[in-house]
């Protein structure tokens, strides 16, 4: 997406698009968004709220009254993303996390501390191979936790269910046993069916579907001379993109920039 730098939107605080983001004021996400948007940042009110779990909790409990929560996709499937976006005020990044958008050879090579002659794509491939077990562990843990979901809680007893006090403990423990059996069944499903399917799925993931933060942390030491802090690298790349009026296509439907003459 190209932004016409000769045009500036006429926006006010009252009609800025509110986006609740991961991290804090100086997190990579906020630094990248605020830098790459340049003058168009006046159209948005970026409000960092913490971890992705915190944002999900806010959305699921309807604590978000205005705007939406922008959350890392992580290892979610298209079906999971669609279901959550339709149900709550959520938009997911189309990539695993913000660092995946930094793994762009065109802009990495323009940084003054880039080490000439290094094949960035090749280095990324080597890192993925070297850290296969790390990525696979993260993927399987995410899938397992998603499958188990939240441990089933004992629902509040209806008035019609209330027993005599002498029978109350027995009834609650029976309900707990039922929940335990449900969890055991899910664990057996993972062991007997899903675990092997998930390993196959992992082998077909693209770079954008893997943990960009882990790749970026290793890559900077391979392609840069005396690399600065990761947050500074992220800001430098965002500045290069902003100078060209470029926003990664993955962000087009999230940061909808209004144009006016």
Question: What is the number of domains present in the chain?
Answer: 1
Is the pLDDT at 73 greater than 80, yes or no?
yes
Q: What average pLDDT score do residues 200-226 get?
A: 97
Residue 260 lies in a domain: no
Is the pLDDT at 21 greater than 90, yes or no?
yes
Is the pLDDT at 218 greater than 90, yes or no?
yes
Q: What average pLDDT score do residues 90-103 get?
A: 96
Residue 257 lies in a domain: no
Q: What is the reported pLDDT for 152?
A: 66
Instruction: Please classify residue 255 by burial: count the beta carbons closer than 10 Å to its beta carbon, then call 0-12 exposed, 13-18 middle and 19+ buried.
Output: buried
Residue 256 lies in a domain: no
Alpha helices by DSSP H, listed for the chain, are 28-37, 52-60, 78-87, 105-108, 120-130, 132-148, 165-189, 195-203, 212-223, 230-243
Residue 4 lies in a domain: no
Share of the chain above pLDDT 70, in %: 92
Is the pLDDT at 134 greater than 80, yes or no?
yes
Q: What is the pLDDT of residues 25-68, one digit of tens each?
A: 889 999 999 999 999 999 999 999 988 889 998 888 888 888 99
Tokens for 204, please give them.
Answer: 């077909």
Is the pLDDT at 13 greater than 80, yes or no?
no
Lowest mean pLDDT among 86-100, 116-130, 243-257: 243-257
Burial letters 180-202, b for 16+ CB under 10 A, else e: eeeeeebeeebeeebeeebeebb
Structural domain span for residue 226: 13-251
Residue 48 lies in a domain: yes
- The crossing angle, in degrees rounded to 10, of helices 120-130 and 132-148 is 60
Lowest mean pLDDT among 54-63, 225-234, 252-261: 252-261
Residue 261 lies in a domain: no
Residue 112 lies in a domain: yes
Q: What is the reported pLDDT for 14?
A: 63
Is the pLDDT at 116 greater than 70, yes or no?
yes
Question: Which residues make Cβ contacts (< 8 Å) with residue 101, sequence separation at least 6?
Answer: 32, 95, 212, 248, 250, 251
Is the pLDDT at 238 greater than 90, yes or no?
yes
Residue 45 lies in a domain: yes
Is the pLDDT at 69 greater than 70, yes or no?
yes
Q: What is the reported pLDDT for 64?
A: 82
Phi then psi for 246, rounded to 5 degrees?
-115, 135
Q: What is the mean pLDDT of the chain?
A: 89
Q: What is the reported pLDDT for 38?
A: 93
Q: What is the pLDDT of residues 160-189, one digit of tens each?
A: 888 888 999 998 888 888 878 888 888 999
Q: What is the reported pLDDT for 155?
A: 77
Is the pLDDT at 10 greater than 60, yes or no?
no
Is the pLDDT at 5 greater than 70, yes or no?
no
pTM for the model: 0.84
């Amino acid at each position: 997406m190209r932004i016409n730098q000769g045009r500036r939107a006429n926006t006010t605080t009252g009609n800025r698009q509110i986006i609740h983001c991961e991290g804090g004021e100086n997190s990579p996400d906020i630094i990248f968004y605020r830098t790459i948007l340049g003058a168009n940042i006046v159209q948005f009110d970026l409000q960092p709220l913490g971890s992705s779990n915190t944002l999900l909790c806010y959305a699921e409990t309807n604590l978000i009254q205005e705007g939406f929560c922008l959350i890392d996709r992580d290892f979610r499937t298209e079906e999971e993303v669609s279901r959550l976006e339709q149900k709550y005020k959520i938009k997911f990044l189309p990539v695993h996390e913000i660092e995946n958008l930094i793994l762009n050879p065109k802009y990495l090579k323009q940084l003054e501390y880039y080490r000439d002659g290094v094949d960035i794509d090749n280095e990324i491939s080597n890192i993925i191979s070297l850290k296969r077990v790390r990525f696979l562990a993260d993927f399987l843990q995410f899938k397992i936790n998603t499958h188990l979901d939240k441990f089933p809680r004992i629902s509040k007893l209806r008035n019609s269910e209330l027993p005599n006090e002498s029978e109350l403990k027995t009834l609650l423990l029976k309900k707990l046993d039922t929940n335990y059996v449900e969890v055991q069944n899910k664990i057996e499903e993972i062991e007997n069916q899903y675990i092997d399917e998930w390993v196959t799925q992992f082998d077909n993931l693209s770079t954008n579907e893997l943990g960009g933060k882990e790749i970026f942390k290793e890559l900077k030491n391979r392609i840069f001379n005396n690399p600065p802090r990761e947050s500074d690298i992220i800001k430098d790349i965002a500045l290069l993109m902003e100078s060209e009026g470029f926003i990664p296509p993955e962000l087009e439907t999230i940061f909808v920039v209004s144009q006016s003459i």
